[in-house]
Amino acid sequence: MNWSIRCVILFYAISTILFPAVSVGQSLSEVADFAEVQYKSENFEVAASEFSRALYFGHSGQDILFLKVANCYFNLKNFEQSIVFYDKAYFASQSDSIKNEAILGKSFSLIVENQWMLALSELMNIENTASDDQKSKMNFLQGIAYFGLHEDELAESSFKKCLNDLPVNVDFQLIEHEFESIRKNEKRFNPKTAWVLSLIVPGSGQFYSKQYKDAANSAILLGGLFYLTVNFATKFSFAEAVLVMLPWFQRYYIGGANKAEKFAIEQQLAMRNNSYQAILELLGTQKFKESKSIQ
């Protein structure tokens, strides 16, 4: 093969490599721009697909694209995928700011999945260089995670730190009031107390837990069983009455106590949830909305 033919082949080989690359480069910008439009329009499914396509073909700024894909999946409530892409954003980035955003996003996804301990372990990786807004989000998420673990003192401390970061002055006593309500309700609706009361006087445990209808039913049912036992004993013998009625009496007697305990726990959780909602309303549910500073 002579020199001129080799030059022609080399020229076509270079052209095949370079020109499509330029074309792909141009189309990648269009894909990324289109994805951005969809992202801002909250068409997250389309945006995730287009950002992923840009990533696949090697668009620059992959850490930011990974982060946006993760945010898309978060908004689509696909938390498993959002966690995957927050991790990718973290490891693809050299920027502390983007790493922190990835940690915050992943932690929020874990919290939504009730994985409190994993969320807290992730938040420990927030860099010291975190912005005030990122620190505020960190304290907010820590408060939620500790609250989920029933570590109320730590939750209260984290929420108070978050209050410090709010642009308006909010009285700490409002947070303290909600946590004091939680502590009072836990004492007021003690499950063990409800269980013991129900053993002493059938139905009293349910009454203690404010389940008045169930309290009446339990008292009437066990009263009826006691009457039948006495009636049976007068016709036959006490031993025979006990043998016949004891399994039924025991079932509803212990069952009533267990239900009273369950009702007390439900009351605690209901009151706790009310306080939780009040705390979130106080701090502002918009506080952790995705930062618009990363474009």
Residue 151 in domain: no
Return the pLDDT at 41: 92
H-state helical runs in the chain: 3-40, 44-56, 62-75, 79-92, 96-112, 116-123, 132-148, 152-164, 172-188, 191-200, 204-208, 212-235, 238-283
Q: Domain range for residue 276? A: 191-280
Contact 239, 223 (CB under 8 A): no
Region of poorest pLDDT, from 61-70, 126-135, 231-240, 275-284: 231-240
Q: How confident is the model at residue 10 (pLDDT cuts 50, 70, 90)?
A: very low
DSSP designation for 168 = S
Q: Which two tokens stand for residue 126?
A: 């927030």
Pair 48, 76: CB distance under 8 Å = yes
Q: Count of domains in the chain?
A: 1
The answer to whether 102 and 135 are in contact (CB under 8 A) is: no
Class of residue 54 by CB neighbours under 10 A (exposed 0-12, middle 13-18, buried 19+): buried
Q: Is the pLDDT of residue 272 over 50?
A: yes
Residue 143: other Cβ atoms inside 10 A? 25
* Structural domain contains residue 61: no
The stretch 123-149 carries a mean pLDDT of 91
Q: What is the DSSP letter of 115?
A: -
Q: Is 251 inside a domain boundary?
A: yes
Position 65 scores a pLDDT of 94
- Alpha carbon 153 to its chain centroid, in Å, reads 19
Kindly state whether residue 221 falls inside one of the protein's structural domains.
Answer: yes
Domain assignment of residue 38, yes or no:
no
Is residue 259 included in any domain, yes or no?
yes
pTM of the model: 0.74
Q: Angle at the Cα of 198 (from 194 to 201), degrees rounded to 5?
A: 135
Does residue 258 lie in a domain region?
A: yes
pLDDT digit string, tens, across residues 86-110: 999 999 999 999 999 999 999 999 9
